[in-house]
Structure 1
């Protein structure tokens, strides 16, 4: 028989460690040669940023060093191109070193390594000047892929103690550096602190050192390789000898081997992804129905009767009937498929029909998930995975809202035109249900393991109610708790982007902790820490309050596994049924604290969010008490987690890790640029407006942010005040109507007072930097609370005050009188020019109008001859007004937009006169787009044209 291959003379041979050293040397040479050349030739230019230059900033960032300047950019690109060869070989050798039979992880890590190499080339050769979007896409892809590459290399490391030690050090330094890196970037970008970018640059360069250094450690592993080039006749069919067998033997019996070793199947990770998506759909339905219910009392200005739809969540109470429980468990696939009608609700144009369809879906999904948990009560690993799917599904819904500026793209208020993903979401949901609930895939039995003590089913249900309410009220959007602790400018705490990703991380970490350490998560010590977090969130602001929010989020997610595990040991009717019933009670309590002026008995709980938080934690405490008995005997008898169960866990952890990476990516892509420009900068014109936005829900029950964005952009507004804008409650979907508009049109945004201050909300969007802002609650002894934002803006180098204010309702004249006096004194005390964008509930020239426009306030009406106003007013002092217009709202809200134009830098004239538009400079005119019939239902009305003054 002919030999398989022929040996030849060795032409070249070298040790494998030189691949790693070559990669390290050229990678460092690429960066540091650019740094040396850049400092030598363009020092002052590369330390300059958008806010400061030398000497405030004295060390260049990586991006500035390797960016667009010649010749440093060329040095970097030449050396990084040379690095690519050793890099590909390094990834290949690592795969050869770690590959072993029946293991997919080495292939995944190798694929990630190749992907990182390609994306590195992307951000290297496509600079931000060439194409900013693609540069960012390549850069963030590279950074995101660093996590699985690092963790994968650690998991696959051969038993080389020295190499493993150095890898852990480098990985810890790399990820630890991200914290101060982000901190100083925010200090620079948001707070505009001098010198912050220099500190950021040091940490950015440190990341380069640690990233390249991590890969340099492969030199210790590659010492056992020898790369040989042989001169043979004909085509070689030789294979490199691998260390797979020895590595496999060393990993046997270790946790990492059980988790990531043999038996890793794509089909099973697909099952995990489908389970998580089903959880996502559950939370979509749970959070979507209250938004629909809110539409009806909003338009009825009181209880409408449609609120009863909230009771759909108590459907699990019917599972107390054995025959219904048995039927539900046997038909889980059908129940889950039936609940998907919610994703078709957007097809119904009539709001009432959309509500009824979604209420039916909510009743079905609550029963389906209750039956799912109960069906798996005799199979601990399967129950655990269902709970993880439920919890990670919640995180997926939060990430989806984070990506879509706080709107869930599958809600019934969404459709294609306003950013909905309804069709694709429904298609994925159908596939997920069919795969997750295949025949014989669930226990489907009615078996209850014998023996063991059980805690009180009543207390277990109470605990589940507290868990559900804590989640839905505070954890279904990453910006909700941030809005609780926000107190205005200057920024002294977290902001929705990027810190929403931190909230999401805390939620994920809490869930994993609760699964891996249920006894610790279910202890009274953990409960005490969770209660401390709740107290800090309720009573403190800024970073202190947010630290409490993170503790609270971590604890609530950690509590979910042991509370649900306790509930399934009892009849589902007495735990989940009671829990959902009490959840409705807490939801109404949650509404009553702010809607006290419109509901029976409202004054009894007026502004008592602290009572509500205490009640929630007491409810959870009841669940902890019951679970301590129910789960204790079970824990003592419970066998150690099997390798198979660990592997099952790993699939859900992979999905969670992917979601966390996605959240980080979204935070990066959405990070505020803070480089906004007024529309008519050359004319020093300020166009300011006021709009009562009706919570961003239009007359036909659709999310209205995109329609609002269009009209505001076309009106060329530089400053806009929103009223009735606080949506950070269950009934409004826990969303922020300002985020999408501010990011898309380029505004600084201030919202307040926060949802824990019990108002209907006010917000300020400004293209000018907000130097300072203060949130006010005006006197309201009887009626609803009146919010105000008093902000100082830097308009073309001059400090100008803007006040956004919503007065109390018509039924409470004493409240409105007190509020008018408070605001008049506030405006009069300001030494700066001031613009009031307001909702005053008064007729022109009558009553409280004469307090707002008075010698005390020094304010003037932008147009005293406008007799047709009742609510919205624009007042001013110390400024030159040049124009005023009223624009119809179409079907977006029930209130028009009022707009005024002012000129900065010119004195306020003593005698003004009305002039025709043709005498007004072009830059000071209102857009002609809204003349006549206007566009999309928006037009100048009342006067049919803007008014101008000289």
Structure 2
């Protein structure tokens, strides 16, 4: 029996002790689990646990947490035993914390207790399911634990009793924990991507620091539990809000509110929660519908190879002009629920098989969506809080849209080009959209437009210009987190950001800008803030790598910051003038944005050829017009007052932003490239290389084709592939990047090629082999479309091999193609290494420019000189032994077949000697044999013989060609 240390031990109690010993026990046992495992691991398996996939001792000399606790016996068993013992004090600590902080009618203590229990379960998950046993589930438990750490930490700070010392320690430890995450990610990237020796050791120290901070944060409960006695009785009255410190209770509450951003001080109600979810989701639906319009329009000029006439539907967005008719405006505002429901036609469009009718269905949905939202904002303009809530719905919905695209590898799961077969979630999306609209429109409009329009300071026209620039900036740059990253990407070695994980910083900048605009509307509306935004735009446009990316972050921050003031001002005026004209000028910007790259196919295109800088300048001038309007209004003393009544709904939207950011971070962790890829037939030293023009990842029936492309590349066991017509980072292509999905799913390194600001139709390289170096080229194109080329050096079985991916100019521009041929041939000829060209050359075999590509200038050989039935796609090579070649039909994926060849990389002296002989002996080099005469590892898969699968088969020759020099 344990006696109490307190004189007022309750009568009848067997024993009593201070609850602080629960905290001490939790701390001691948890630290014993980690530190003990570290000591045992270093003592028994030091060299093993400091070894990683790239380096070992002495370059790496301190083990990571996962290597220490999960890989070997007995340290793993030691850790698991003590973590199991930790669970008792851990659950007791959570329960005591709940009892200490629970108040009648307050939901936050229940939420925090639930999060604490969830963290305990997930801790058990990643403890007992190690990464070597099941990597996926280990990661799921670990990510869940880390994500739950944020609400646990902030919730504990918000609920801290009036103990200034405990609050101070919690703030410091939480700041140290989350501050450590930034260098942790940095050094992990240095290790995983850049393979810097010693980076993993630094990462390991930071990882162990997180463990220390995590446990220490809960140790602070010693200060809170010191007057808490188990039986359980609060002998100090702390749970009743008694404050024994010299600091006032109000001051302590202010500190906690500041530390948590005030999120946890909001009074929780289910209705407000559902309202916020509905608003944000409906905002997401708006952006999903709007960004899907360009995609379905693009399908038609893509197949027409020029203006098709369907481009007129880009004007679907100008429907708010109809609100200039007062009876119609009144009817729309009185029946907003019906209008919002009609806008969901854009989501139902995926049910329409015919591309033409699907386009018109999407156009109708976009028209109704723009009309409904313009009328909705106008109808709320009498009530500051309700108006701000709807504006936040649009802006947080944009952040959610970008995040959802990241989770679906830059496709939006509810787009009209998606369906169940290619990863779409259309049915779920529509179901949630119906619920969201019903909840979103539950309040009657405050302004039906029947009253006479109020005369306001400022200009509706200037407001419309500002809205146009803002919408274009959102759509062209912020609708996908990887768009600006593709602008600044310059190839290998990596010298700038990656879509994963650095895409999150775009979302973080958007979030920060939105919150800043909420709190400091007057500040972000000033000319000085506009100047900073202009600098960001200029840096993004003019520079590459990290510097250009920093400019993009500044611009993202500014666009989101100025959005609130712009939209509030526009909502208080005639919606026909502000939103109708705003969408009209936005459409002009969309066409301008297309014309700069499609100049060879559109009227007047030559005047704006390659002038993305003009597009960016125009966008910022439009925004400047809106800023001029705001500053004029503010100078007249009509600035919008800050109203505290809006604070409650703001906190709900801020909470939504926090959850969206946590979801993005979790997906970024899951999507982080492993960089441990291996070729399909390493034992045979084979490179299987292919070239494919993928038609912007839209198949012949207007469906997104990434998964179908993936399936064929996987079945053909392609190690290196060049993809052409692959630049999708524009409004008309949906701001997508097919290579992100293919690289992750197929396990390949990826080089995006010249970015969208380089005005090409795109070239990309995917490789199972590490890309040692890559350079992007724009070949001479004085008249026609720009010709992109990637020159990459791969590490293939320890030998350096150059791969060129090239898209020549179009047939009509003869001089362009001649100049490009000379440039490309000299570039290939300058390489002394074994080389492969994966290309689109627009020439006949044995004729014209072909004889420059295949010549002493380039040193390259045709993969099959006897294949006369080619016009566009060619594979050339040198200093390699070509052993197989095939042409594979495309089915309905694109308009171009996939060509594939197999090469042996010479490594041994006798192999290099054979290749040297073949270089000068065309007859021996091209000697064909039967498939059974070559090794199994050299053969193409049999499943594509005959009728093949899913419309893919070996065609033209009906069978692959195999080559083996005569003895």
Q: Runs of 5+ in structure 2 lacking a partner? A: 1-8
Say which of 506, 509, 529 aligns to 2:509.
Answer: 506
CA contact (8 A) 1:723 1:763 kept: yes
* Between 473-482 and 73-82, the greater mean CA deviation after superposition: 73-82
Q: CA deviation at 1:507?
A: 1.0
Find the counterpart in structure 1 of residue 272 from structure 2: 268
Q: Give the Cα separation in 1 of the matches to 2:852 and 2:100.
A: 81
CA contact (8 A) 1:31 1:76 kept: yes
SS for the counterpart of 2:764 is strand
Find the counterpart in structure 1 of residue 378 from structure 2: 374
* Between 254-263 and 358-367, the greater mean CA deviation after superposition: 254-263
Find the counterpart in structure 1 of residue 284 from structure 2: 280
Find the counterpart in structure 2 of residue 424 from structure 1: 428
1:189 aligns with 2:192: yes
CA contact (8 A) 2:330 2:450 kept: no
SS for the counterpart of 1:752 is coil
Q: CA deviation at 1:799?
A: 0.2
Q: Give the Cα separation in 1 of the matches to 2:219 and 2:85.
A: 16
Q: Give the Cα separation in 2 of the matches to 1:63 and 1:808.
A: 51
Task: Summarize the alignment of residues 628-647 of structure 1 with structure 2, pairs less than 5 Å apart.
Answer: 628-630=631-633, 638=641, 640-642=643-645, 645-647=646-648
Q: Runs of 5+ in structure 1 lacking a partner? A: 1-5, 230-237
The alpha-carbon distance between structure 1 residues 449 and 394, as it changes in their structure 2 partners (threshold 3 A), is farther
1:591-622 deviations in whole A, cap 9, x for unaligned? 00000000010010000001110110111011
1:388-415 deviations in whole A, cap 9, x for unaligned? 1100111111111101000001000001
Q: Give the Cα separation in 2 of the matches to 1:157 and 1:538.
A: 47
1:694 aligns with 2:691: no
The alpha-carbon distance between structure 1 residues 895 and 451, as it changes in their structure 2 partners (threshold 3 A), is closer
CA contact (8 A) 1:102 1:264 kept: no
CA contact (8 A) 1:454 1:569 kept: no
Q: Give the Cα separation in 2 of the matches to 1:261 and 1:139.
A: 29
Find the counterpart in structure 1 of residue 3 from structure 2: none
SS for the counterpart of 1:727 is coil
CA contact (8 A) 1:316 1:370 kept: yes
CA contact (8 A) 2:229 2:235 kept: no
The alpha-carbon distance between structure 1 residues 651 and 782, as it changes in their structure 2 partners (threshold 3 A), is same
Find the counterpart in structure 2 of residue 328 from structure 1: 332
For this pair of structures, how many residues does the alignment match? 934
Q: Give the Cα separation in 1 of the matches to 2:63 and 2:294.
A: 51
Q: Give the Cα separation in 2 of the matches to 1:381 and 1:411.
A: 32
The alpha-carbon distance between structure 1 residues 929 and 632, as it changes in their structure 2 partners (threshold 3 A), is farther
The alpha-carbon distance between structure 1 residues 563 and 803, as it changes in their structure 2 partners (threshold 3 A), is same
CA contact (8 A) 2:30 2:82 kept: yes
Say which of 409, 415, 418 aligns to 2:413.
Answer: 409
SS for the counterpart of 2:72 is coil
Q: CA deviation at 1:250?
A: 3.7
1:485-513 deviations in whole A, cap 9, x for unaligned? 00000101101111112211111121111
Say which of 240, 247, 251 aligns to 1:245.
Answer: 240
SS for the counterpart of 1:882 is strand
1:729-755 deviations in whole A, cap 9, x for unaligned? 000000001111111111101011000
Find the counterpart in structure 2 of residue 3 from structure 1: none
Task: Summarize the alignment of residues 8-27 of structure 1 with structure 2, pairs less than 5 Å apart.
Answer: 8-27=11-30
Q: CA deviation at 1:445?
A: 3.8
Find the counterpart in structure 1 of residue 875 from structure 2: 874
Find the counterpart in structure 1 of residue 347 from structure 2: 343
1:561-597 deviations in whole A, cap 9, x for unaligned? 0000111222111111111000011001000000000
The alpha-carbon distance between structure 1 residues 259 and 122, as it changes in their structure 2 partners (threshold 3 A), is closer
Measured on the aligned residues, the alpha-carbon RMSD in Å equals 1.9
Say which of 928, 940, 947 aligns to 2:954.
Answer: 940
- TM-score, normalised with respect to structure 1: 0.96
Find the counterpart in structure 1 of residue 544 from structure 2: 541
1:152 aligns with 2:155: yes
Say which of 932, 940, 946 aligns to 1:926.
Answer: 940
SS for the counterpart of 2:105 is coil
CA contact (8 A) 1:289 1:359 kept: yes
* Between 274-283 and 20-29, the greater mean CA deviation after superposition: 20-29
SS for the counterpart of 2:14 is strand
CA contact (8 A) 2:487 2:544 kept: yes
Say which of 68, 86, 91 aligns to 1:88.
Answer: 91
1:157-181 deviations in whole A, cap 9, x for unaligned? 2222111111111111101100110
Find the counterpart in structure 2 of residue 572 from structure 1: 575
Task: Summarize the alignment of residues 378-457 of structure 1 with structure 2, pairs less than 5 Å apart.
Answer: 378-440=382-444, 442-446=445-449, 454-457=457-460
1:732-790 deviations in whole A, cap 9, x for unaligned? 00000111111111110101100000000000000000000000000000000000000
Find the counterpart in structure 1 of residue 6 from structure 2: none
- TM-score, normalised with respect to structure 2: 0.94
The alpha-carbon distance between structure 1 residues 840 and 262, as it changes in their structure 2 partners (threshold 3 A), is closer
Q: Give the Cα separation in 2 of the matches to 1:439 and 1:17.
A: 50
* Between 778-787 and 912-921, the greater mean CA deviation after superposition: 912-921
Say which of 191, 213, 218 aligns to 1:210.
Answer: 213
Q: Give the Cα separation in 2 of the matches to 1:576 and 1:852.
A: 54
* Between 263-272 and 427-436, the greater mean CA deviation after superposition: 263-272
Q: CA deviation at 1:628?
A: 2.2
Q: Give the Cα separation in 2 of the matches to 1:458 and 1:803.
A: 51
Q: CA deviation at 1:453?
A: 5.5
Say which of 558, 563, 569 aligns to 2:561.
Answer: 558
The alpha-carbon distance between structure 1 residues 275 and 240, as it changes in their structure 2 partners (threshold 3 A), is farther
